[in-house]
Structure formats: C-alpha cells, structure tokens
C-alpha cells in the first residue's frame, strides 16, 4: 500500500514538473532566451521567487532544464515512431514532421539568442542532442541496412554528425538570416539530402515514390 502511494505521489510530482516546464518553455519560445527573467517566470506562473530559486538556482540552470525537457520530448516522439511497422526511410520522414512541429520562427529566435548570450548552455545542449539523436539514427541505419535500403560503405557516426550540423546551421549561419527560407522547408530539404546520401538504389526508388506522393 505504501509503495502504491509512493508511485502515485511521484507521478503527481512529475506531472506538476512537466506542466511547469511546458509553461516556462512557452514563455522562453515566445519572448526569447534573453528577455525572460526569473521574475517574469515567477509572475507568469504565479509561484513565489523563493520556490523558483529553491528548484533552480539561476536562469541559466532553468534554461538548461527547459532544453533538456524539449529534447526529451523529441526523443520520446521519435521512439514512438521507431516502434511503428514501417520501413526505415518512412520512419525518418515521419520523424521530420515531428521536428517541423517542434520548430517555429520564435524557436529560431530563441536558439539564436542562446548561441549569442548563453553559448556554454547551447554547446552542452548540442552535445546532449548529438548523443541522444545519434543513438536513434544508428539504430535506424542498422535496420535500413538489413532492409537493403541503406548503403554499407559509409561512416555512420560521421554521416550523422554531418546531418546534425546541417540541421543546426539554420540558426547559426548568416546565409539563413533573411526570410527567403522558412525552417520547415529547410528541415525537410535537410532530411531529404541526408537520405539520398545514404540510400541504395532500392532505397532511392522508395524515397522517390514517397516524395512524389507528398
């Protein structure tokens, strides 16, 4: 009985933390990483500054928690897709849609401000992202090779880093600072570029067919 009570209490605590981080994430995404203060968070979420600082000693720690939370949301969504009975190429394209939903113009502003004003936090976020996304993509590559859809003669880790570098360059390059390209189109092209670089002839035929039906 005590164990059941403990589990329920833990679930309630986790649920409250999830709701809190969702609201804080929305606040940062809407206003940017620089403008939002701990006072703003306290007022917006109607919690005391003492309670806030007991959980997060400063804004930097809160930003890191928000980034970890958003990254885990992406990983959870991707893992749900990986469980579906589709081929490896389709899984990557479906995952691309989840990245697009996660992305927005405000998100780009948020990331650009992180790069400029909180580089250490952003760099750690990129390392965390590389570790978690690489694990998912490596499994996808292994499965794709078993299906005969991906080539055997490429360096998996290097190609994954190429892919992540491309996807991250939208917020970190002067070439994409104007409104000529939106992030959704950029992500879609980045994923397509990655897939064409690793697919076999069989894989390219499937990819061409899927792209023609979009």
pLDDT at 99: 55
Whether residue 20 lies inside any domain: the answer is no
CB atoms within 10 A of CB 205: 12
Token pair in block for residue 169: 């360059």
Q: Work out the burial of residue 87: count CB atoms within 10 Å of its CB; fewer than 13 is exposed, 13-18 middle, 19 or more buried.
A: middle
pLDDT for residue 10 is more than 50:
no
Output the CA–CA distances (angstroms, integers) from residue 168 to 117, 135, 176, in the order listed.
Answer: 17, 18, 11
Indicate the pLDDT class of residue 104, thresholds 50, 70 and 90. Answer: very low
Interval 156-191: pLDDT, tens = 999 999 998 888 888 777 777 666 777 778 888 999
Radius of gyration of the chain (CA): 20
Region 144-153: mean pLDDT is 98
Using alpha carbons only, what angle is made at residue 152 by residues 151 and 154, rounded to the nearest 5 degrees?
85
| Total-model pTM | 0.80
Quick check: helix, strand or coil at residue 150? strand
Beta bridge partners of 150: 199
Q: Structural domain of residue 120, as residue ranges?
A: 64-213
Whether residue 116 lies inside any domain: the answer is yes
Quick check: helix, strand or coil at residue 83? coil
Whichever domain contains 143, its CATH number is 1.10.357.10
Region 58-84: mean pLDDT is 88
Whether residue 43 lies inside any domain: the answer is no
Whether residue 48 lies inside any domain: the answer is no
Q: Compute the residue count for the chain.
A: 214
pLDDT at 98: 56
Whether residue 115 lies inside any domain: the answer is yes
Interval 41-64: pLDDT, tens = 999 999 999 999 999 999 999 999
Whether residue 109 lies inside any domain: the answer is yes
Cα dihedral sign, 72-77-80-86: negative
Quick check: helix, strand or coil at residue 75? helix
Whether residue 59 lies inside any domain: the answer is no
| Alpha helix (H) residue ranges in the chain | 2-31, 38-44, 49-55, 59-82, 88-102, 105-117, 119-146, 156-168, 183-198, 201-213
Q: How many domains does the chain have?
A: 1
């Amino acid at each position: 009985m005590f164990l059941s009570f403990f589990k329920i209490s833990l679930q309630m605590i986790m649920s409250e933390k999830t709701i809190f981080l969702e609201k804080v994430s929305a606040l940062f995404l809407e206003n940017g990483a620089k403008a939002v203060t701990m006072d703003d968070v306290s007022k917006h979420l109607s919690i005391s500054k003492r309670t806030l600082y007991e959980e997060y000693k400063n804004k930097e720690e809160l930003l890191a928690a928000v980034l970890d939370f958003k990254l885990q949301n992406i990983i959870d969504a991707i893992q749900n897709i990986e469980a579906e009975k589709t081929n490896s190429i389709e899984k990557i394209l479906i995952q691309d849609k989840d990245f697009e939903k996660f992305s927005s113009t405000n998100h780009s502003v948020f990331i650009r401000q992180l790069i400029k004003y909180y580089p250490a936090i952003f760099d750690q976020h990129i390392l965390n992202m590389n570790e978690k996304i690489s694990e998912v993509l490596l499994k996808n590559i292994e499965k794709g090779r078993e299906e005969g859809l991906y080539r055997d003669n490429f360096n998996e880790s290097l190609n994954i880093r190429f892919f992540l570098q491309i996807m991250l360059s939208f917020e970190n390059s002067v070439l994409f600072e104007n409104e000529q390209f939106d992030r959704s189109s950029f992500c879609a092209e980045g994923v397509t570029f990655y897939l064409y670089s690793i697919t076999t002839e069989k894989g390219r035929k499937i990819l061409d067919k899927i792209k023609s039906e979009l």
